[in-house]
Amino acid sequence: MRKSGGVWIWLLVPAVTLVLGSCKPDTKVEAPEVRPVRTMTASKGEAGETVILTGHIHAEDEPALAFRIGGRMIERPVNVGDRVEAGQVLAKLDPESELNALRSAEAALVAAEGQLTYARGDFERQRQLLANGHTPRARFDQSQKALQNAQSQVDNTEAQLQIARDRVSWTTLTADAAGTVTARGAEPGEVVQAGQMIVRLARQSGRDAVMCRLSCCARRQAMRRSR
C-alpha cells in the first residue's frame, strides 16, 4: 500500500504541474509584420506623347444667302473670290411681276381712300341732320356703318401695299456684312426658288481653325506608307 501510494503521488505531481503551466498567461508579444515601402522622387520630365495637328482655316461665319421669293434671276454681278461690302448688290430677280402687284396695290389704296372720304362726308352730314331732326336714326346708322367699312378697307389695302413693296425689295439680294464670296449656287437666267442658295459669303467677323489630331505613331505609319 505504501508503495502504491508513492506511485500515485509521483504521477499526480507532473499532472498538476502541466495544468498549472497551461493556466499561466502568455506574455510573449509578436512583432508587427514589416511591409516594404517603395519611394520615388518627383522630377521634371518630357511630355509622354508628341501631338501633330493638321487642318485648315475657314471663316467663323459663312452663311448661304438666298432670295425670300422665287423668280428668274437676271443678274449676279459677283463671283467666287470677290470681296464685297455691306449693302452691296449680289444678285437680282426679274421684278416685273412684283412691280405690277405694287402698282395694283397703290391703285387699290387710292380707290379705298376715295371711298373713305365719301363715307366720312356722308357720315358728317347725317350726324348734323340727325341732330336737327331731319333724318331718321336708321339712315345715320347706315352712314356710320359705311364709314367703318371704308376705314377697314383702307387699312387692308395699306397692308397689301406694304407687302407689295417688300416683295419688290426682295428682288434684290444684298450683302448683310462685308466678306468674301466663297461659292455660288445659281447663274443668271435660271429660275430660282425661295431659300435657294445664290452665293455663300465668308464674313470678316473671325476665323476658325479646323484641326485633325495625328499622333506620332500614326505619323510614322503614314510616312512609311508614303515611302
pLDDT digits 0-9 by tens, 180-216: 999 999 999 999 999 999 999 998 765 544 445 544 4
User: How far apart are the C-alpha atoms of 147 and 140, rounded to whole Å?
Assistant: 11
Q: What is the pTM of this model?
A: 0.62
**How far, in Å, CA of 201 to CA of 179, rounded?**
6
Strand partners, 192: 71
Domain 62-94+175-220 fold is OB fold (Dihydrolipoamide Acetyltransferase, E2P) (2.40.50)
Joined grid coordinates for residue 105: 396695290
Q: Which of these CATH numbers, 1.10.8, 1.20.1260, 1.10.287, 1.10.3470, describes 97-170?
A: 1.10.287
| Residues whose CB is less than 8 angstroms from the CB of residue 206 and which lie 6 or more positions away in sequence, other chains included | 59, 60, 61
Tell me, what's the pLDDT at 212?
Answer: 53
C-alpha cell at 146: 359705311
Contact 207, 58 (CB under 8 A): yes
What pLDDT is stored for residue 155 in this prediction? 97
> Which of 107, 93, 100, 111 lies closest to 186 in space, CA to CA?
93
pLDDT of residue 215: 45
Rounded CA-CA distance 155/28 in Å is 111
Q: To which residue does cell 510616312 refer?
A: 223
| The pLDDT of residue 219 | 46
Q: What is the pLDDT, as a whole number, of residue 207?
A: 54
CA distance 122 to 115: 11
pLDDT of residue 194: 95
Q: What is the pLDDT of residue 180?
A: 93
Domain boundaries, the chain: 62-94+175-220, 97-170
Region of 133 (left: φ > 0; alpha: ψ -120 to 50; beta: rest) is left
User: Which residues of the chain, if any, have pLDDT below 50?
Assistant: 1-5, 20, 208-211, 214-227
Q: State the Cα–Cα distance between residues 162 and 152, nearest whole angstrom.
A: 16
CB 192 within 8 A of CB 143: no
Instruction: For residue 55, give the H/E element and its range.
Output: strand 51-59
CA–CA distance, 220 with 227 (Å, rounded to integer): 11
Cross-sheet strand order for the sheet of 64-66: 64-66, 197-203, 179-184, 83-84
Closest CA to 203 of 222, 227, 181: 181
What pLDDT, on a 0 to 100 scale, did the predictor assign at position 62? 86
How buried is residue 167: exposed, middle or buried, by Cβ count under 10 Å (0-12/13-18/19+)? buried
Separation CA 202–CA 182 (nearest Å): 6
